[in-house]
Amino acid sequence: MIEKVWAMYFSATDTTKTTVCRIADKLTEVFACEKGECDFTYPEAREKVYSFSEHDLVVFGTPVYAGRVPNVLLPFLRTVCGNNALAIPVVLFGNRNFDDALAELRDILSEDGFVCTAAAAFVGEHAFSDVLAKGRPDEDDLAFADQFALKLAAMVCNGTAKNRIEVPGESPQSEYFKPKGPDGNPIDIRRVKSYVNENCDNCGICAEVCPMGSISRADVREYTGICIKCGACVKKCPQKARYYTDKNFLFHREDLENRLTERGECSVWL
Ligand SMILES: Cc1cc2nc3c(=O)[nH]c(=O)nc-3n(C[C@H](O)[C@H](O)[C@H](O)COP(=O)(O)O)c2cc1C
Ligand code: SF4
Ligand code: SF4
């Protein structure tokens, strides 16, 4: 008997949040139960320990970074206690591929004590770009999310929901996806950071939305920690003042934009 449906997610540019909340809202409606929300995008939320029970159903989402679950989240993810709650791992990817990310999220949640009964991979606007998978998840994606939730609810109600969902991807996972530079060799963009131009009016939004807490509030041109290139500060800057100059990063972004022009499919497993 499901008593509470949770939307739990990390979402720097809101595509995971939108998708996970839509699935959770539909499930809440069908089960006519309570809804909970746990947003662990910001550092303070990742200091708490979250614990569930067998009466909970948790729609659990992360973006895909380099074909995997973002590695900065791993220490936090291992602290979550499933206690046999049902979980739906959901990953959002930017029209390239989710590679091993969904299998990895399913494995982590299983190790946390969740029963992963279904899973989904949805397309979201790419964090590096404002044209790649632009505007996704869109209305069609969200209608697909509704259908997924309805089918899942029916399976939970009639007792046919799975005890462990099989999904594509290696388990255990091996490599992270490595982007390539103009010469075809792998590039390392881990140290790349954006710069700030003269349009900046010091509103401080970029510092507020950084999931790593890495932009100085006193001077938004300064970094106080690592940058994971999540795109939040760039996309949420009202003045469009943040920009990249790194040649390899710019090449990779343009290469993705030029190659991945076809609409990527969302997929679900039940
Ligand atoms: C560091 C980084 C690596 C990424 N790697 C991939 C990838 O391997 N495949 C892909 O399709 N999208 C990739 N993306 C795009 C994100 O998965 C996509 O934009 C997602 O919708 C972002 O989720 P959010 O809006 O919840 O933050 C990457 C984004 C970032 C920031
Ligand atoms: S969000 Fe943009 S305008 Fe506001 S402080 Fe940051 S860079 Fe400046
Ligand atoms: S500084 Fe880096 S980690 Fe922080 S919001 Fe900007 S892109 Fe994301």
Q: Cβ(118)–Cβ(88) under 8 Å? A: yes
CA pair distance 142, 267, nearest whole angstrom: 12
DSSP structure class, residue 185: S
CA of 56 to the centre of ligand 2 (A): 39
CATH class of the domain whose range is 195-258: alpha beta
200 lines ligand 2 (CB under 6 A): yes
Per-residue pLDDT of the chain in tens (270 residues, 90 and over written 9): 899 999 999 999 999 999 999 999 999 999 999 999 999 999 999 999 999 999 999 999 999 999 999 999 999 999 999 999 999 999 999 999 999 999 999 999 999 999 999 999 999 999 999 999 999 999 999 999 999 999 999 999 999 989 999 999 999 988 999 999 888 999 999 999 999 999 999 999 999 999 999 999 999 999 999 999 999 999 999 999 999 999 999 999 999 999 999 999 999 999
Please tell me the residue having the least CA distance from ligand 3 atom 2. 227
Output the six-digit token pair for 209: 């939305």
Residues facing 120 on adjacent strands: 90, 268
In ligand 3, the atom with minimum distance to the C-alpha of 234 is 6
At 12 the pLDDT is: 98
| Domain residue ranges in the chain | 4-174, 195-258
Q: Cβ(103)–Cβ(168) under 8 Å? A: yes
Q: Is 96 helix (H, G, I), strand (E, B) or coil?
A: coil
Contacts of 1 (CB under 8 A, 6+ apart): 55
CA pair distance 50, 211, nearest whole angstrom: 19
CA of 227 to the centre of ligand 2 (A): 16
CA of 108 to the centre of ligand 1 (A): 19
268 lines ligand 3 (CB under 6 A): no
Dihedral pair phi/psi, residue 55, rounded to 5° = -95, 5
Element (H, E) at 224: none
Contacts of 35 (CB under 8 A, 6+ apart): 4, 5, 6, 7, 24, 25, 28
CA pair distance 168, 192, nearest whole angstrom: 31
210 lines ligand 3 (CB under 6 A): yes
At 81 the pLDDT is: 98
Residue in 42, 62, 58, 57 with CA at minimum distance from that of residue 122: 62
* Nearest-ligand number for the alpha carbon of 127: 1
Output the six-digit token pair for 96: 């390239």
230 lines ligand 3 (CB under 6 A): yes
How long, in residues, is the chain? 270
Please tell me the residue having the least CA distance from ligand 3 atom 8. 230
Q: Cβ(261)–Cβ(135) under 8 Å? A: no
201 lines ligand 2 (CB under 6 A): yes
At 1 the pLDDT is: 85
CATH class of the domain whose range is 4-174: alpha beta
In this prediction the pTM is 0.97
